[in-house]
Amino acid sequence: MTGYVHSIQSLGTLDGPGVRAVIFTTGCPLRCIYCHNPDTWKKEAGEVFSSSELAEKVLKLYPYIKNGGVTFSGGEPCVQAKFVTEVAKILKARGLHIALDTSGAVDNEDTDKLLELVDLVLLDVKFTSSEAYKLNTGADLAGVLRFLEKLEALGKDVWIRHVVVPGINDTEEDIRALSKILEPYKCIKKTELLPFRKLCLEKYEKLGIPFPLRDTPEAEQKRISELEELLKR
């Protein structure tokens, strides 16, 4: 089958263990206020690949990524879960570690099949109250928490990645609320706080879409370190 791909990053080191190929698929039902990839929102904006073509392209990097793996990101890769599953099957058959970078907001039978193949899930909980989640992403926090429950039941390894935005979710109270949500889950092996950045401004301008956080300052590393300390406690 065919699917839509925004781009492939050849040798990433941030999206899972080791050196990895990162496949950015297109299509996302969310509209996070801090989104860095508005050019991945529309599925049809991506380049069309067959599953074998995409796998072949990634396998050219095999010598570099054989001890790391492949991460599917986006966009929201679960929008094209069937396609991603086909590609992941080919790559996994070559012994590659498969990670899925997801919001957890697309959860259906196709996603379940994809999860069977995945070794690691990178999950972004984003906001800790239903109101804030709805307001800042357009989606429901309850669905994401159900997804996390599912990962726990499946015993999948999960890394939480949480973008911290000044004035929006950067108080000690926000981080305590996050910690409380995550506390019961044994599947969570790591929690990372990522500073809000504005490197995406040019993309928004090109697309003619207003960036909602244009006037929000970037997060300072010092603040992130303080909140990480709080999270450890």
Binding site for ligand SF4 (CB under 6 A): 28, 30-32, 35, 37, 40, 74-76, 103
- Nearest approach in angstroms of CB 230 to ligand SF4 is 24
Residue number with CB closer to ligand SF4 (96 or 151): 151
Spatial distance between the Cα atoms of 156 and 210, rounded to a whole number of angstroms? 37
Cβ count near 208 (within 10 Å): 6
Residue number with CB closer to ligand SF4 (40 or 169): 40
Is residue 139 within 8 A of residue 103, CB to CB? The reply is: yes
Place of tokens 């015993």: 155
- Nearest approach in angstroms of CB 29 to ligand SF4 is 8
Spatial distance between the Cα atoms of 180 and 184, rounded to a whole number of angstroms? 8
Is residue 25 within 8 A of residue 71, CB to CB? The reply is: no
- Nearest approach in angstroms of CB 72 to ligand SF4 is 12
- Nearest approach in angstroms of CB 122 to ligand SF4 is 11
Residue number with CB closer to ligand SF4 (68 or 75): 75
Residue number with CB closer to ligand SF4 (40 or 51): 40
Place of tokens 């003619």: 208
